C-alpha cells in the first residue's frame, strides 16, 4: 500500500506558487499526496485535498475548528510524513500531529522567515519565539531558508534536526533573460513605452512589504528620471492607501498598480531593475526571479535580502526607510546601462545557486532520510 504525505499551509495558492515540484517528486516515488489548506484550487499531483479554513492571525477563534479538522484528518489517514508551511499552517499542523507522531509520523516544518529576528519588534519576540520554542519539541525537522533563521533554529531544541536549503527554488526555465527585441515586444504587449525605465516589485500590497518606501523613492526621482515607471504587481489590503500616497506625492502617473499577474515572468523580463522594500523577508524570491532574468536588484536591508544581494556586485542594499539612498542607487543604474548589465550578469550566477533543480535535490535528500528510516522501522516490526 502506498505511503502518504500531507502538505499543510494557510492557503492552497502557496502550493501552486512554490511547491508543485515537491508534490510531483513524491508522486514519482510512488506516494499518495494529500494537501490541507484554505481554498478550492485544483492542484496537480494531489490525490486528496482538504479545504481547511486556516486564518493567518493566531488570535482568530476559527483556527480552533481548523485544528480539530486537521487532527481528524491526520488521525484518519496515518501519514508517514506531515510537511507544514506558513506560520499558522505550521502551528496547527504540528499541534494536530502530536498523537500520530508518537506512532511514527514524521513532522517537518519549513520556516519561510521567522517573525522574530534581528531588528524585529519586541512584541514579535514576546509572541512568536515562545510558540516556536514550544513547537520545536513537536518537530522532527525544521527547515530554514536563510542563515540568521538557521542559527536561531539550532538554539530552539537540541533534539530537533535543523536544515538550511536554498529557498523554495527559482524556475530558471521560466525566469530567464530576453534580448532587447523581445523586451520591447513585451513592453508593447503590456502597455509600456520602449524608453520607459521600469522598476518591478511583485508582492502583496501590505505593511510589511512597505511599498510606501518605493513611492517615496519615486517622488525623489520624478524630476531626475522623468520616464520612470514603478510597477507593483500584486493585490492587498493597503492598495487604496498606497494609491492615495502616490497621488499625494505627485507620482500617480509613475506608480502602476498592475494587480496580480499570472504571467509575472513577462513583467520581470520587460523591467530594468528589480526592487524590494520589505521590512521582514525570509529570502526575497522576487529578487531571485529578477536575477534569473538578468536584472540588478535594489532592496531594503533585511536578513532575506542580505542572503542574496552582494553589495555593489549584483545589486544594492539600502538602509530601512532611506528613500534618499534608494533613489540615488536607482539613479546610478538609470544613468549607467553598462552597470545594469554587469550586475544583471552577476545576479544570474546568484540565481543559479537557488534554482529549482538545486532545492529539489536538497529537499529530496531530506525526505529520503525519513523514508529510509521509516522503511527500516517497518522491516524491524515485520
* Chain segment 12-25, per-residue pLDDT in tens: 999 998 899 999 99
pLDDT tens digits, one per residue of 46-80? 999 999 999 987 778 889 999 999 999 999 999 99
CATH code for the domain of 342: 3.40.50.2000
Give a yes or no: residue 219 inside a domain: yes
Tell me what pLDDT residue 2 has: 81
220 and 128 part of one domain: no
pLDDT tens digits, one per residue of 273-301? 999 999 999 999 999 999 999 999 999 99
The set of residues, in sequence order, having a beta carbon less than 8 Å from that of 75 and lying 6+ positions away, is 99, 100
Asked if residue 42 has pLDDT above 70, the reply is: yes
- Residue, of 372 and 84, whose pLDDT is higher: 84
d(C-alpha 44, C-alpha 21), whole Å = 10
Tell me what pLDDT residue 18 has: 87
90 and 62 part of one domain: yes
Instruction: Summarize the confidence of residues 39-47 as an average pLDDT.
Output: 96
Instruction: Summarize the confidence of residues 353-366 as an average pLDDT.
Output: 96
158 and 191 part of one domain: no
Q: Work out the angle at residue 41's Cα, subtended by the Cα atoms of residues 39 and 47, and round it to the nearest 5 degrees.
A: 105
Domain that holds residue 65: 4-168+356-381
Q: What is the count of structural domains for the chain?
A: 2
Tell me what pLDDT residue 381 has: 58
Asked if residue 372 has pLDDT above 90, the reply is: no
Give a yes or no: residue 173 inside a domain: no
Give a yes or no: residue 43 inside a domain: yes
151 and 300 part of one domain: no
Exposure class string for 107-136: b at 16+ Cβ within 10 A, else e: bbbbbbbbbbbeebeeeeeeebbeebeebb
CA-derived radius of gyration, the chain: 22
Question: CB 264: neighbour CB atoms within 10 A?
Answer: 19
Amino acid at each position: 500500500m502506498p505511503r502518504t504525505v500531507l502538505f499543510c499551509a494557510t492557503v492552497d495558492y502557496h502550493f501552486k506558487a512554490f511547491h508543485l515540484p515537491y508534490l510531483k517528486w513524491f508522486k514519482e516515488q510512488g506516494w499518495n499526496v494529500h494537501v490541507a489548506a484554505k481554498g478550492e484550487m485544483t492542484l496537480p499531483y494531489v490525490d486528496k485535498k482538504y479545504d481547511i479554513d486556516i486564518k493567518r492571525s493566531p488570535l482568530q477563534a476559527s483556527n480552533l475548528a481548523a485544528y480539530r479538522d486537521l487532527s481528524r484528518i491526520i488521525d484518519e489517514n496515518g501519514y508517514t510524513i506531515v510537511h507544514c508551511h506558513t506560520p499558522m499552517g505550521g502551528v496547527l499542523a504540528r499541534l494536530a500531529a502530536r498523537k500520530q507522531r508518537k506512532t511514527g509520523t514524521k513532522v517537518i516544518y519549513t520556516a519561510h522567515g521567522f517573525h522574530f529576528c534581528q531588528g524585529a519588534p519586541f512584541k514579535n519576540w514576546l509572541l512568536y519565539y515562545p510558540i516556536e520554542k514550544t513547537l520545536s519539541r513537536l518537530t522532527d525537522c525544521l527547515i530554514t531558508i536563510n542563515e540568521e533563521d538557521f542559527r536561531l533554529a539550532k538554539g530552539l531544541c537540541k533534539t530537533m534536526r535543523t536544515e538550511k536549503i536554498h529557498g523554495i527554488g527559482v524556475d530558471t526555465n521560466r525566469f530567464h533573460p530576453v534580448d532587447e527585441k523581445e523586451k520591447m515586444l513585451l513592453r508593447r504587449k503590456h502597455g509600456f513605452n520602449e524608453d520607459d525605465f521600469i522598476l518591478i516589485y511583485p508582492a502583496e500590497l501590505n505593511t510589511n512589504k512597505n511599498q510606501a518606501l518605493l513611492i517615496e523613492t519615486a517622488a525623489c526621482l520624478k524630476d531626475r528620471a522623468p520616464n520612470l515607471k514603478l510597477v507593483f504587481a500584486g493585490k492587498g489590503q493597503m492598495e487604496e492607501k498606497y494609491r492615495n500616497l502616490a497621488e499625494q506625492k505627485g507620482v500617480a502617473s509613475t506608480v502602476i498598480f498592475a494587480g496580480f499577474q499570472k504571467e509575472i515572468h513577462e513583467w520581470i523580463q520587460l523591467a530594468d531593475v528589480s526592487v524590494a522594500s520589505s521590512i521582514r523577508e525570509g529570502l526575497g524570491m522576487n529578487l531571485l526571479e529578477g536575477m534569473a532574468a538578468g536584472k540588478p536588484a535594489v532592496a531594503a536591508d533585511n536578513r532575506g535580502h542580505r542572503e542574496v544581494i552582494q553589495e555593489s556586485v549584483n545589486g544594492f542594499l539600502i538602509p530601512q526607510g532611506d528613500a534618499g539612498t534608494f533613489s540615488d542607487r536607482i539613479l546610478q543604474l538609470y544613468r549607467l546601462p553598462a552597470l545594469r548589465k554587469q550586475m544583471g550578469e552577476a545576479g544570474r550566477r546568484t540565481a543559479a545557486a537557488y534554482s529549482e533543480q538545486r532545492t529539489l535535490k536538497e529537499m529530496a535528500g531530506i525526505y529520503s532520510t525519513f523514508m529510509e528510516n521509516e522503511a527500516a522501522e517497518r522491516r524491524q516490526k515485520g
